[in-house]
Amino acid sequence: DVCSSDLVMGYGQKIFSEGTIIYQVATLLDSQVVNAQVKSVQQIKGSHTKVDLVSSVGKTSTIFNSREGEGAILQEYGAQKIMIPVTKENLQSRNQKYEQLVYEFQKDTKMILSYACTKAVASLPDGTQLEVYFSKDLVTDNTDIGFQFGKLPGLALEFTSRKGNRAITYSAISILFEPVPIQQFDVPTAGYRILNYEIGRAHV
């Protein structure tokens, strides 16, 4: 159910301004699944975003406030806890390769979590092929979520990044429109070893 606070644009189109999307993440080598025990939990609340990539060995979280232009990347693997403060410029630099994506829209469609999705494909300069199924019924006004999709006119609910014999597929398994507590987006003030971005990005 969509909360009454969700904005509606046009018939059946919703702005995803607050809630949680959970993706199942599978890595394939030569078309064989080698790791499917990973989840990506993406939360949004207005200008705040948080993405947790959770596996059996640990978790990497990216927290960002686009209004303030700052956030942090947190890594928790065993006893190792690292925090890398990030600025808007850091993220723009990291995501620059996605900004000029040119998509070719395909005729293929599929239903994902009751949303009609359209297929689009694109290529990165390094040869990586992107294949995305997105829904025009869901859009977000926060461009920090789904940054790797450039100017797609909708929210990506399934996407595959393929290079050589390796592919990684994200498949949405849950969309929740419930409010997200603001504390979820707090950057820790203690308990982490702090690395600056230039050094720390080698760990990300």
Write out pLDDT tens, residues 15-29.
889 999 999 999 999
Position 8 scores a pLDDT of: 41
pLDDT of residue 10: 47
pTM for this entry: 0.87
Supply the pLDDT for residue 86: 93
Instruction: Tell me the two tokens of residue 42.
Output: 């993406």
Output the pLDDT for position 107: 95
> Residue 15 corresponds to which tokens in the numbers above?
């702005």
Sign of the dihedral defined by the CA atoms of residues 125, 103, 69, 61, in that order: negative
Which residues does the chain have with pLDDT short of 50? 1-10, 204
For 96, counting Cβ atoms within 10 Å of its Cβ (0-12 exposed, 13-18 middle, 19+ buried), the class is exposed
- Cα torsion 31, 134, 55, 86 to 10°: value is 120
**Can you give the pLDDT at residue 4?**
33
